[in-house]
Structure 1
Amino acid sequence: MAKDRVAAGRGRAGDPVKGGGGRKTDVRDTSRAPFYGVLGVIALAAVGFIVYQSMQAKSSGVITIDPNMTLPEASGYVMGNPAAPVQIIEFADFECPACGSFATLTEPDMRKRLIETGLASFRFMDYPLPIHANTWDAHFAAACANEQGRFWEMHDQLFMTQDQWASQVTNRPKAVFSRIAESLALDMGQWNECYDSQKYKLNIAANQREGDRRMVSSTPTFVIGDKVIRGALGFDELKMWVDSAAAKAPAPPPVPTGDTAAARGVPAGKSK
């Protein structure tokens, strides 16, 4: 690169030609100077890009946890009323294309027609697969957003931008995750510290181990009532499974009235 800059600045000496009065005139060919100048700019830009990339943290890659390690309770992330008659549990991987399809195509209807109406609750459980090199980092990004109350917003953006940070595209996904975190107005100092320290690694591993206990082997896998369903679901199929589980769910206890209410210390005609 240094040689290119020298050449561009110096040009290339042409052959001397005879001028008037018998004096020699040194004529320099500068026609290729712009060409070398452009090469120099490109070379500098390439070096800058390489330096920038080297400053970005590489993906954590696949993380393995000692199977004998004691982990925290597997809890996942809950949307809706936990006491809803049916719970939809999804074991998912943020880098899984089928999980992305469910999140972007089915979840909007699920939230509006099942969760917001109180018919069901939804629990997202981390299940990072070893075939996806960047997925653990995506789960870190989401867990650290959850620390600031923005898990579902990060969840949505991670699935919507899969093609920007998946392992086939980059081995430095944090740049994309950071932009998402900034767009969500997160405290970036707190988020970066959480992300870089892998603060919630064991919590994610606990959710993953719960999936193993339930014989999960692929994503997405859903647990609805006593049924385990593998593969992305469209809304109609999801609703069918929810209705089936609701039909089997125990009826809620009756509201105390009359003598029953009085026996419990509740004035007749009133309930707690």
Structure 2
Amino acid sequence: MTGSTPSSPASPSSSRPPSASRRSRRRTVAALAVLAAAAVTAAFALTLDDADNREEKAGEPAAVTASAAPAPADEGLLALARRDASDPLAIGRADAPVVLIEYSDFQCPFCGRFARETKPELLRSYVDKGTLRIEWRNFPIFGEESEQAALAGWAAGRQNKFWEFHDVAYGKPRERNTGAFDAENLVAMAREAGIADIERFQADMASDEARGAVRADQEEGYTLGVTSTPAFLVNGRPILGAQPTDTFEEAVETAAKAAKTANTTKGAGR
């Protein structure tokens, strides 16, 4: 990492004025935060790389899940949960004890499998009961149609129809980059999803705000080391690929127990 380093003061640290000491402490804290963030990023990237290697050997996606007695999730990854009650690209209570963050592409077949087979079970068993919140992150990796579908999903969210659009887009398997997600078909999906103002939908799709939002999600994923879809964080612990539903159920239940234990410990310490 490059950059200038502040020169050391001539007098010993014990004689520094209070303001200088405070500045030094702030710099130290900032440096530690940078190092911690780097460690989190490296750990996540290595976990995904290891999963990719196992996927190549086995011929199918590999899961990275919590063990029966997992170590506490890294605070840096836990902090990625936005928990914004007004976020149209999220479903479930903002204060749910478990947050599943999903990095997905609308053209990804494994993402579609998760949407059709696993997500409905998670909604019934955990989201509807207040245990789980799902937060979507746009991570288009298959070219222009993926980009346009991501923009369309964001635009649907502006009319509080993201999840309806999501279900239509993933409603059946579609061939990648064959026009299934061209402008005409995206408008047809929007209509099927119940989006009333199509002109606004198209304007929102074309907006700089939409592109900025999609880019921010992508950059978050790339910073973590995500290179394929779908990729998930369940309270900060990664799962790669469209794993069987029970893999996600186990991860959610483990995370919920850990959250309950942590809250009980905090309460006892007051």
TM-score between both structures, scaled by the size of structure 2: 0.61
* Other-structure match for 1:179: 188
Q: Deviations over 1:141-178 (max 9, x none)?
A: 111111111010001111125517x30x2287111111
Q: Confirm whether residue 245 of structure 1 aligns to residue 255 of structure 2.
A: yes
Q: d(CA) in 2 for partners of 1:102 and 1:198? A: 30
Q: d(CA) in 2 for partners of 1:155 and 1:98? A: 14
Higher RCO by CA contacts (8 Å cutoff, separation 6 or greater): 2
Is the contact made by 1:226 and 1:245 (CA closer than 8 Å) also made in structure 2?
Answer: no
Is the contact made by 2:148 and 2:181 (CA closer than 8 Å) also made in structure 1?
Answer: no
Amino acid at match of 2:99: Q
Q: Confirm whether residue 206 of structure 1 aligns to residue 201 of structure 2.
A: no
- Per the alignment, do residues 226 and 171 of structure 1 end up closer, same or farther by CA in structure 2, a change over 3 Å counting? closer
* Other-structure match for 2:240: 230
Q: Confirm whether residue 154 of structure 1 aligns to residue 170 of structure 2.
A: no
* Other-structure match for 1:134: 145
- Per the alignment, do residues 74 and 109 of structure 1 end up closer, same or farther by CA in structure 2, a change over 3 Å counting? closer
Q: d(CA) in 2 for partners of 1:245 and 1:86? A: 6
Amino acid at match of 2:135: R
Describe the SS at the equivalent of 2:101.
Answer: strand
Q: d(CA) in 1 for partners of 2:263 and 2:143? A: 42
Q: d(CA) in 1 for partners of 2:250 and 2:221? A: 23
Unaligned runs of 5+ in 1: 1-72, 255-259, 261-272
Alignment of 1:97-108 (within 5 A): 97-108=109-120
Q: Confirm whether residue 96 of structure 1 aligns to residue 83 of structure 2.
A: no
Q: Deviations over 1:74-96 (max 9, x none)?
A: 95721101211111111111111
Amino acid at match of 1:206: A
* Other-structure match for 1:195: 205
CA RMSD of aligned residues (A): 2.5
- Post-superposition offset of 1:216: 1.0
Q: Deviations over 1:213-272 (max 9, x none)?
A: 222111101101231111112221101011121222222676xxxxx9xxxxxxxxxxxx
TM-score between both structures, scaled by the size of structure 1: 0.61
Is the contact made by 1:140 and 1:198 (CA closer than 8 Å) also made in structure 2?
Answer: no
Percent identical pairs in the alignment equals 27
* Other-structure match for 1:163: 174
* Other-structure match for 2:130: 118
Alignment of 1:40-59 (within 5 A): none
Q: d(CA) in 1 for partners of 2:127 and 2:210? A: 27
Q: d(CA) in 2 for partners of 1:161 and 1:187? A: 25
Q: d(CA) in 1 for partners of 2:231 and 2:203? A: 31
- Post-superposition offset of 1:128: 0.9
Task: Extract structure 1 runs of 4+ deviating beyond 4 A.
Answer: 73-76
Q: Deviations over 1:114-149 (max 9, x none)?
A: 1001111111111111x3331010011111111111
- Per the alignment, do residues 136 and 162 of structure 1 end up closer, same or farther by CA in structure 2, a change over 3 Å counting? farther
Q: d(CA) in 1 for partners of 2:180 and 2:114? A: 25
Q: d(CA) in 2 for partners of 1:154 and 1:86? A: 24
Q: How many residues align?
A: 181
Q: Deviations over 1:181-230 (max 9, x none)?
A: 12314201111222234540111110111111222111101101231111
Q: d(CA) in 1 for partners of 2:207 and 2:81? A: 20
